[in-house]
Structure 1
Amino acid sequence: MAGALFADLPGSSSGTGWWTDPDSSGIGTETIVNGVSQHSFSIERAQLDKDEYFLFSGMVPNTLNMTVSAGAIVTGSFDFMGGMQANTDSSGTGVIQQSSFDESSSGTPTVATTTDPLNGVGNVGTIEEGGGALSGIYLSEISFNLANNLRALPALGYDTAISISAGKCDVTGTINAYFEDDSLYDKFIRSSDTSLSFTLTDQAGNYYTFLFPKVRYESDTVNAGGQDADVMEVLNFRSIYHAGTGGVIKITKSEPLA
């Protein structure tokens, strides 16, 4: 995971920014909840062997996808919707051409981090369901998708969108579990509200916790694959607005302060 990039983007899509709470032990903890303000970025891609730089401005985060699978590297992706693209023969350290929804007019590109990727073996911490640690039920995978449902606004006489409009923040996900009992299935049948969270941590003490404070299971399929196959329970969930949290997803990050 590119920690620095990831730290910036959810704040941009939520609009409230990271809220910092350093403690006496020298650990900085920051939280963020999805919001309504919109921010945009400039993104630069370089072909260094040809000295060609592709600058994309007015880029607004649209979706975030993340998958944590047993025995695999944690994967994730961001999708953007933007204003314009330009080619240059040097890095964008000078003035960046603005659109009406690009809040940054200049700056030096942020270098990508060199941190190690997280994985679904040694970097998965606590998994909670219903406010407590998931006990007796084991997951093979958990994934989620956050969509801001952006839409570009084209206009006569303009070769780029005049603005980007946002829709409802929609958060859905999937749990793949080894079927043990009917505890999760019962919540699906009863349309019971519950909560989900999982933590990813590294050896240096940095971690991210993803909390879905109020979810409902929209489907629950128990698959008996056949002989010599495990019975799997696949649950699709949707995160619903939680008044106490003030949103549908809350992300907490913590890192030792230098």
Structure 2
Amino acid sequence: MSIASTSRTRIAYVAQSAFDAVPATPTFKTLRRTSGNLRTQKATSVSDEVHADGNIRDEAQTGQDVVGSYAFELVYGDHDDLIANALCGAWTADVLKNGVAEGLFLFEETDDIGGGAFAYARFLNCKVGVLDLAINSRSLVRGSMEIVGTQQTLAAAIVAGATYAAPSNNKPETSVAVGALSVVGLAPTPIVKNVNLRINSNRRVRDSVGSLYSQEHGRGSMDVTGTMEVYFETNALAQAVLDHALGALNLTVGAVTLKKYTIAMPAVRLLDGARQIGGRNDDVMYAIPFRAVYDSGIGASISITRAVA
């Protein structure tokens, strides 16, 4: 055996049909990612007993939760099922909206430990709790998924009958390929330096007496928030912030016809924006946090359309 190398690891996942159900003969999908891993986060409790010898008698284990995150570069088609899980929705006619659907995944992390041997760590009942997307100028479009789950198991062999589907060869998207940008109806459209988006379903642990592990994670309200940084040109955007304006924030990501995404937030509220005056060699910038709220036109706060021309 040898020391495991990150470059020889594989992360794969498969949908579960029910809570605690390990799929039979699963067809895993290989995850395209840049970094990250899952782990078990243990809870413990130290005994408060007082002893004349001054020693602590025990620190008991009281809980286990699966936590972690995976960073990725946005690639058309490769993360669609996980994006849908983050939005608690489902793709319908190539359109995804945030909703109340539940889905579960089994994640498997494989380490090559040499000599033809592999170490497997499997994480059950996983959901994407938080999805972050960062669109920065002169950069790849990058993201991160925070995962919550209930239980980890270790193994030295694959699940019986398991197969592993290779990822696509699609190239990562870049901020250069962002178009059809609209910001709360302003014309001309502000010149944007970066946009960061966070989708948080506010997952929570459901611990219970008699078990180390959570019941299926609870879900709270869907928070769709973000920030954008734009070059300061006129007072138009500053006035919109002062007016607590409500409008659409839309953009399309992708360079290849029918391999693009349009992200639409029809009702975005501009929040505590701030004009930023730097040093003598800096540009004046305007940083604006925002929140997408429910829009009756789409019946949701955010929609993502794929296969856009």
Same fold (TM over 0.5): yes
Structure 2 residue ranges without an equivalent (≥5): 1-73
Runs of 4+ in 1 over 3 A off after TM superposition: 2-5, 13-16, 107-114
Q: Contact (CA 8 Å) 2:174, 2:254: kept in 1 or not?
A: no
Task: Specify the code of the residue in structure 2 equivalent to 1:17.
Answer: A
Match of 1:90 in 2: 157
> What secondary structure, in the 3-state scheme, does the structure 1 residue paired with 2:273 have?
strand
| 1:136-155 equivalent positions in 2, closer than 5 A | 137-155=190-208
CA drift of 1:110 comes to: 4.3
**Is the aligned partner of 1:80 residue 2:151?**
no
What's the TM-score, normalizing by structure 1? Answer: 0.84
> What secondary structure, in the 3-state scheme, does the structure 1 residue paired with 2:306 have?
strand
Match of 2:106 in 1: 42
Q: Please give the alpha-carbon distance, in whole angstroms, between the structure 1 residues aligned to 2:257 and 2:169.
A: 14
> What secondary structure, in the 3-state scheme, does the structure 1 residue paired with 2:83 have?
helix
Q: Please give the alpha-carbon distance, in whole angstroms, between the structure 2 residues aligned to 1:197 and 1:69.
A: 16
Match of 2:91 in 1: 18
> What secondary structure, in the 3-state scheme, does the structure 2 residue paired with 1:117 have?
coil
Q: Contact (CA 8 Å) 2:182, 2:189: kept in 1 or not?
A: no
| 1:197-208 equivalent positions in 2, closer than 5 A | 197-203=250-256, 205-208=258-261
Q: Please give the alpha-carbon distance, in whole angstroms, between the structure 1 residues aligned to 2:215 and 2:111.
A: 29
| 1:95-244 equivalent positions in 2, closer than 5 A | 108-121=163-176, 123-131=177-185, 135=188, 137-203=190-256, 205-244=258-297
Match of 2:95 in 1: 31
> What secondary structure, in the 3-state scheme, does the structure 2 residue paired with 1:38 have?
coil
CA drift of 1:6 comes to: 1.9
Q: Please give the alpha-carbon distance, in whole angstroms, between the structure 1 residues aligned to 2:240 and 2:103.
A: 37
Q: Contact (CA 8 Å) 1:215, 1:237: kept in 2 or not?
A: yes
> What secondary structure, in the 3-state scheme, does the structure 1 residue paired with 2:85 have?
helix
Q: Contact (CA 8 Å) 1:64, 1:146: kept in 2 or not?
A: yes
1:132-188: per-residue Cα shift (whole Å, max 9, x none)? Answer: 7x6352111011100000001111221211221000000111111000111111111
Q: Contact (CA 8 Å) 1:63, 1:145: kept in 2 or not?
A: yes
> What secondary structure, in the 3-state scheme, does the structure 2 residue paired with 1:10 have?
helix
> What secondary structure, in the 3-state scheme, does the structure 2 residue paired with 1:248 have?
coil
Q: Please give the alpha-carbon distance, in whole angstroms, between the structure 2 residues aligned to 1:151 and 1:80.
A: 12
Task: Specify the code of the residue in structure 2 equivalent to 1:60.
Answer: K
CA drift of 1:74 comes to: 0.9
Q: Contact (CA 8 Å) 1:13, 1:35: kept in 2 or not?
A: no
Larger Rg: 2
Q: Contact (CA 8 Å) 2:98, 2:302: kept in 1 or not?
A: yes
Backbone CA RMSD of aligned residues: 2.0
Percent of pairs with identical residues = 24
Q: Contact (CA 8 Å) 2:76, 2:172: kept in 1 or not?
A: no
Q: Please give the alpha-carbon distance, in whole angstroms, between the structure 1 residues aligned to 2:301 and 2:163.
A: 33
Count matched residues. Answer: 233
**Is the aligned partner of 1:59 residue 2:126?**
yes
Structure 1 residue ranges without an equivalent (≥5): 21-29, 95-106
> What secondary structure, in the 3-state scheme, does the structure 1 residue paired with 2:173 have?
coil
Cα distance 1:136–1:35, how it changes in 2: closer, same or farther (>3 A)?
closer
Cα distance 1:91–1:2, how it changes in 2: closer, same or farther (>3 A)?
farther
What's the TM-score, normalizing by structure 2? Answer: 0.70
1:106-153: per-residue Cα shift (whole Å, max 9, x none)? Answer: x645433332111112x2122112357x63521110111000000011
CA drift of 1:93 comes to: 4.9
Q: Please give the alpha-carbon distance, in whole angstroms, between the structure 2 residues aligned to 1:112 and 1:43.
A: 15
